[in-house]
Amino acid sequence: MADFNTMELMISIAARELENGASVGVGTGAPCAAAMLAQKTASPDLVIMFEAGGIRPRLPEMPISVGDSRTFYKASMAGSMGDAMEACSRGFVDYTFLGGAQIDIYGNLNSTVIGDHKKPKVRFPGSGGANDFASFCWKMMVMTPQNTKRFVEKLDFLTTPGWLEGGNSRMESGLPEGTGPYKIITDMAIMDFEPESKRMRVISIHPGHSFENVQENCGFQLLKAGHIEQTAPPTDEELRLLREEIDPYRYVIGR
């Protein structure tokens, strides 16, 4: 098997989560690459949806934004942001991929500011459609590098709801029952959430890493699944598709 980098590994892992016939709301970059890889492997009937309104396109190549004309190529519907968000709120979207500058133990995300909101050290773009996707899609996934600055005990700002304060707090807040964070895919491990407490826990560790290594790069105490698997690396075919058909210019996967 050929060598691979961490981005290729994360994209391959994410693609395997998207079963055939499911629907997924994606942005550009790694989530889009994962959806395209899923379509070209085990999930040819995966329904891809973009925030700007492209629904079920057959992507000819990697788009550069959610409003890129390629996100409407051979689409079932060339709609609007309102159409995309309505589809989420009506329960039509199974998965979404999100990210942020910070994530906490319950999968809440910050993509707004670092520091005080009135006088921040850094100001980010904010929610965009992330709050809507996380609030109404059935399963939210996050793909992100892992370090203690990103995985924090307390967010500087809550942009996107995960399991809020854990337990039943998400449902009690009024968000639809059955929705919420599903899996976190990092460059070191895969995490899910313990069913009762909704705390983040490690379920699989990537080649070359250990649980101790994963914990050292996290700002809060991670739970451990009863059985922690070793993540399967990308196959030769997954790497070929990523490098030759999905992202030949290496915009996302890197060199």
Report in angstroms the alpha-carbon separations of 195 from 7, 182, 235.
28, 10, 31
What is the CA 42 to chain-centroid distance, rounded? 19
Asked if the structure places residue 255 within a domain, the reply is no
Asked if the structure places residue 141 within a domain, the reply is yes
Is residue 121 within 8 Å of 131, Cβ to Cβ? no
| Joined tokens for residue 100 | 């942020």
pLDDT for 29: 92
Domain range enclosing 76: 6-246
Number of helices (H), then strands (E), belonging to the chain: the values are 7, 14
Asked if the structure places residue 31 within a domain, the reply is yes
Asked if the structure places residue 252 within a domain, the reply is no
**Which among 228, 234, 194 has a CA at the least distance from the CA of 213?**
228
* pLDDT tens digits for range 117-142: 999 999 998 898 899 999 999 999 99
Q: Which H or E run includes 225?
A: strand 223-230
pLDDT for 128: 85
**Residues in the chain where the model's pLDDT stays below 70:** 1
Question: 51 an active-site residue?
Answer: yes
Alpha carbon distance 104, 206 (integer Å) = 21
pLDDT for 92: 96
For 83, phi and psi rounded to 5 degrees? -65, -40
Is residue 168 within 8 Å of 112, Cβ to Cβ? no
Asked if the structure places residue 65 within a domain, the reply is yes
Asked if the structure places residue 139 within a domain, the reply is yes
Catalytic pick among 8, 17, 51, 238: 51
* pLDDT tens digits for range 49-95: 999 999 999 998 899 988 899 999 999 999 999 999 999 999 999 99
Is residue 109 within 8 Å of 130, Cβ to Cβ? yes
Asked if the structure places residue 251 within a domain, the reply is no
Asked if the structure places residue 253 within a domain, the reply is no
Q: How many domains does the chain have?
A: 1
CATH number of the domain to which 14 belongs: 3.40.1080.10
pLDDT for 67: 87
